[in-house]
Structure 1
Amino acid sequence: MIAWKESYDIGVEKIDCQHRQLLLKLNEFFDACSNQQGRDKIEETLGFLKEYTLEHFSNEEELMDEIHFPELGDHRKEHAEFVKTVLELEEAVKTKGVSVLTTIKLNRILTDWLLTHISKCDKLIGEYLAKRGETA
C-alpha cells in the first residue's frame, strides 16, 4: 500500500484529485494481490486504467496546451507509452490469461507511474504555473 503524500500534489485540484483516484485503485489492486486475489482484480484494474487514461491524459494535456507548457510534446509521448503498455497488458491477459507475471508487471508499472511520472513529470506543471503566478 502506498499512502498519498502532499508531495504528490502538483497544485491543480482536478489533476490532483484524479491522481488520488489512481492511487486508490492501485492500493485496491495491491490489497487484492496480497490476498491472493490479484488474478480476479487485474481485468477490473486494466479496465479502469483504460478509462482513466483517456479522461485524465486528455485533461492534463489540455491544461498543458492552455498554459503553453514547454514540455507538452515529451509529456504526450510518456502518456502514449503508458497507454500502449496498458493495452499490451490487456491484450496479454485476453490471449494468454492472467498469470503471476502479469499481476507483478501491472504492480510495477502502476507503482513506477505514480512514483516517477506523477511526482516528477507532472509536478513540473504545477511548478510552471507557480512560476508564472497562475493557478488552474
Structure 2
Amino acid sequence: MAWKDSYDIGVEKIDCQHRQLLAKLNEFFEACSNQQGKEKIEETLKFLKEYTIEHFSNEEQLMEEINFPELAEHRQTHADFVKAVLELEETVKTKGVSVLSTIKLNRTLTDWLINHINKCDKLIGQCMATRDKAI
C-alpha cells in the first residue's frame, strides 16, 4: 500500500507517525504475501503496542489543544483499536499464531489505515485549518 499525499492531515509529527505505521504495515503485508505472516505477527503486534501509546497520546493532546469537537468519540476509537490489538496479542499468546490471526491483523490494520486515518484523522487537519483561518 502506497502513501498518498491525501492521507496527510497537515501536522508533520502526526503525518510522519502515520507514514511510519504504513511502512510497518507494508512489511507485515509483504511477509504475509511471502507466507511469512506467522513469523512477523508478534513483531508487528509489539510495534503496534508501542506505537499506539505514543501516537494516540500525541494525537489526543493535539485534539485537546485545538478543542476538537469529536475528541471523546475519537478517543473511543483509539481505545477500541488498542483493545483489538491486545485481544489479538492474547489470542496469539494462548493459541499460537494461526492463519486466522494473521488475516485478522491484516484486516484490522487495513481498515485502520483506510477508515481511521483517511477519514477520522483528516477531520483533525480540517479543524486546524478552519481554526487557523479564524485567527
Question: Which bracket does the TM-score occupy, shorter chain normalised?
Answer: over 0.9
Query: Which residue in 1 is equivalent to 2:9?
Result: 10
The alpha-carbon deviation at position 111 of structure 1 amounts to 0.3
For 1:66 and 1:132, how far apart are their aligned partners in 2? 11
The alpha-carbon deviation at position 133 of structure 1 amounts to 1.4
Instruction: Note the residue ranges of structure 1 that are not aligned, 5 or more in a row.
Output: none
Instruction: Please give the secondary structure, in 2, of the residue aligned with 1:132.
Output: helix
- Partner AA of 1:129 in structure 2: M
- When the two structures are superposed, what TM-score results if normalisation uses the length of structure 2? 0.97
The alignment of Structure 1 onto Structure 2 pairs a total of residues equal to 133
Query: Which residue in 2 is equivalent to 1:48?
Result: 47
What does the per-residue CA deviation read over 1:8-49, in whole Å, with 9 as the maximum and x for residues that have no partner? 000000000000000000000000001110000000000000
Instruction: Note the residue ranges of structure 2 that are not aligned, 5 or more in a row.
Output: none
- Partner AA of 2:121 in structure 1: D
What does the per-residue CA deviation read over 1:60-110, in whole Å, with 9 as the maximum and x for residues that have no partner? 000000111110000000000000000000000000000000000000000
For 1:5 and 1:67, how far apart are their aligned partners in 2? 25
- Once superposed, which parts of structure 1, at least 4 consecutive aligned residues long, lie more than 3 Å away? none
Tell me the C-alpha RMSD between the 2 structures. Answer: 0.7
Instruction: Please give the secondary structure, in 2, of the residue aligned with 1:11.
Output: coil
